[in-house]
Amino acid sequence: MKRFSVLRSFVLLSFLLMLAACNSGQDTNATSPATAVSTLLSTSVSVVPTDTPIPPTATPPVATPTIVIPTPEPEPTLTPEPIVVPDVAVSEKPVFAVFREAAVDTTSAIYHDPIAPDLSNVVVPFILSEGQRARLAQDGLVVSPGVEKEFFTVYEQVRYANLPPFVTSDSLLHVYHLLFDKVLRTAEKESFIPLLAGLNEAMLAETDAQYRALQGTEWEDAARRTVAFIGVGSKLLDANTQIPAYAADLVNAEIANIEDASGIIPSPIFPGLENGEDYTQYIARGHYTTSEALTAYFKSMMWYGRMTFRLKSRDPEVGKAETRAALLLVQALRTAEVNGNFALDVWLDLYNPTVFFVGRSDDLTAFQYLDVIDAVYGSNPGLAAIADESKLPTFIETANQLPPPQILGLVISVTDNVEDVTKGFRFMGQRFVPDAYIFRQLIYRNVDGRMLPKGLDVMAAMGSDRAYALLDEMGETDYERYPEQMAAMQDWTAGLTTEEWTETLYTAWLYTFYPLLEEPGDGAPQFMQSDAWLDKQLNASLGSWAELKHDTILYAKQVYAELGGGGSGAPRPLPAQGYVEPVPQFFARLSALTGMTIDGLNDRGLLNEQDHNSLARLQQLADSFQNIA
């Protein structure tokens, strides 16, 4: 019975691979996962050395702590009571869906005969070289380069040749990548872009009203730059946006820099950025190149995600200027309306689903600033109260108690204190993700002289002894403090609870790698007992991780016909027996991840029938393969 279960599931997998590839809109000539890993390692991290190492924190904070208003310089007889700022709003900590992982028995149910040195007890239907035969006898498996660009073409060739299929974990991870990318792209086109367009329009009108009210005051320049900031995001999304004349020069200069994408140069709207902005980050990548609308959305959200209104800088006046603009932005979010809805609610409608896909902002958010505003200026203050210059220093010192970003996302100098020059407000800040945090802890300044991380760092931090051994062979562990920092990262990942690992689709996707990174236990077949098998599993994890980074870069396609044709003839031989990679816990976690995706997106009305059915098929496959494995 299991034999035919494998065959039925295998045929469904082949069909789903082809369907997902066709529906994903992917370019089958696009960069391979292996090349993507290499590219990520060379381009995803900008590091500017500094002198003092930063020890990793136990757990990066994801919520606002209790904050006490600093006591200003008091008059001799005054001792004001501290004001407590409430914890982060519940609406900013959504729970979309539950990760329901089935219990599995990993005990081997089959006795595996040892492979004879001369392969006399092995059926080898391929022509192998002597070296390949020797490797097959030694390790139980042999790997040779392939030319196919899609999994389903490989499986179809196996099926038509009546050869026994070997269903591997990486093929199902690839299906999940295709479906994840598809549902994210659909959500962006059908939901996120309209939400952002409405938010842009309302915020541009509200900040313009602020500017007109603050003309002639000390806050006029901040109001002008606030209009320009929203103007850039608006015009990047819709080139026909009309910008007020007083801010047009700033907007046009900033957009010219973004379109040129020529490197790290000064920002017209943020002149206080001593090292400039990295405009190469605005080059659309991934599925954002598939349409003009998605390219525009990418650039607009990248602008809102990268630019920080810092609380402090080398020059205290710069911190004050940027904080004034941040206060006006947050106030506009509180007072503006989008088609009869509060702008802050629309912001949440855009932010919360992206939290489910990727994670929470690594920078300070509007909710955190609103809490501090109400504590410093009084509950729900008006624009005139916000523009009270005498309270600005107190706001800055109070907000400075909020947690700093855990990931360095700005270009800074070797002499800068990281926290002092990076903490601040981002309108739609880019997200904290564990792998980026691990990278930061394993490069300079935390590890002397190491300027770029490797994908193997993530796998080693997640407990892969083989990944660490390969890093050691490469000489990576020779860097001063690398072993200590890696040990700290391994402790950190081991300390994360299942709930923390499965809070978002991004982290739950990483969580599915764990069964692949563990060394097989007693009773595993011979082909799983060698370093070659561990390398195969590392390759599967790294390839899927590269696809995860590719899909979430902001926050490939060839159609094949069936081989042969119809017609009568001799009866077809009984199909060859198949084999499922014996990693049942992996299949259980992939099923849970897929179910979590379905539930979370259904809850928000972000899943159409076609994508729901495709995800449901993948979950059915994962369940079947878990039972077979």
- Token pair of 468 as six digits: 């660490």
Q: Say whether pLDDT at 144 is over 70.
A: yes
Name residue 431's beta-bridge partners: 361
Q: Say whether pLDDT at 418 is over 70.
A: no
Name residue 54's beta-bridge partners: none
Contacts with 17 (C-beta within 8 Å, 6 or more apart), sequence order: 150, 151, 152, 155, 171, 174, 175
Percent of the chain with pLDDT over 70: 78
- Token pair of 118 as six digits: 């001369």
Q: What is the pTM of this model?
A: 0.84
Q: Say whether pLDDT at 137 is over 90.
A: yes
Task: Quote the domain boundaries for residue 83.
Answer: 67-93+181-433
* Rounded mean pLDDT, 182-191: 98
Written as one string, the DSSP assignment of 429-491 is: PPBP-HHHHHHHHTSTTTSTT--S--HHHHHHHTT-HHHHHHHHHTTGGGSTTHHHHHHHHHH
Q: Is residue 535 part of a domain?
A: no
pLDDT in tens, 52-91: 333 343 333 333 334 444 444 443 333 333 344 434 333 4
Residue 114's pLDDT band (boundaries 50, 70, 90)?
confident
Name residue 68's beta-bridge partners: 84
Q: Is residue 428 part of a domain?
A: yes
Residue 94's pLDDT band (boundaries 50, 70, 90)?
low
Q: Is residue 20 part of a domain?
A: no
CA distance 591 to 175: 12
Residue 560's pLDDT band (boundaries 50, 70, 90)?
very low
Q: Name the residue with higher pLDDT: 251 or 69.
A: 251
Q: Is residue 597 part of a domain?
A: no
Q: Which pLDDT score is estimated for 80?
A: 31
Residues 596/618, Cβ–Cβ less than 8 Å: no
Q: Say whether pLDDT at 33 is over 60.
A: no
Residues 221/321, Cβ–Cβ less than 8 Å: yes
Written as one string, the DSSP assignment of 246-268 is: HHHHHHHHHHHHHHH--SEE--S
pLDDT in tens, 602-620: 999 999 999 999 999 999 9
Percent of the chain with pLDDT over 90: 64
- Token pair of 181 as six digits: 């990318």
Number of domains observed in the structure of the chain: 1
Spatial CA neighbour of 165 closest among 359, 8, 343: 8
What is the C-alpha end-to-end distance of the chain, expressed in Å?
14
Q: Name the residue with higher pLDDT: 117 or 91.
A: 117
Q: Which pLDDT score is estimated for 168?
A: 93
Query: What is residue 91's three-state secondary structure?
Result: helix
Residue 124's pLDDT band (boundaries 50, 70, 90)?
confident
Q: Is residue 270 part of a domain?
A: yes
* Rounded mean pLDDT, 508-518: 97
Q: Say whether pLDDT at 107 is over 50.
A: yes
Q: Is residue 160 part of a domain?
A: no
CA distance 436 to 406: 9
Q: Which pLDDT score is estimated for 317?
A: 94
* Rounded mean pLDDT, 510-533: 91
Q: What is the mean pLDDT of the chain?
A: 83
Q: Is residue 53 part of a domain?
A: no
Q: Is residue 419 part of a domain?
A: yes
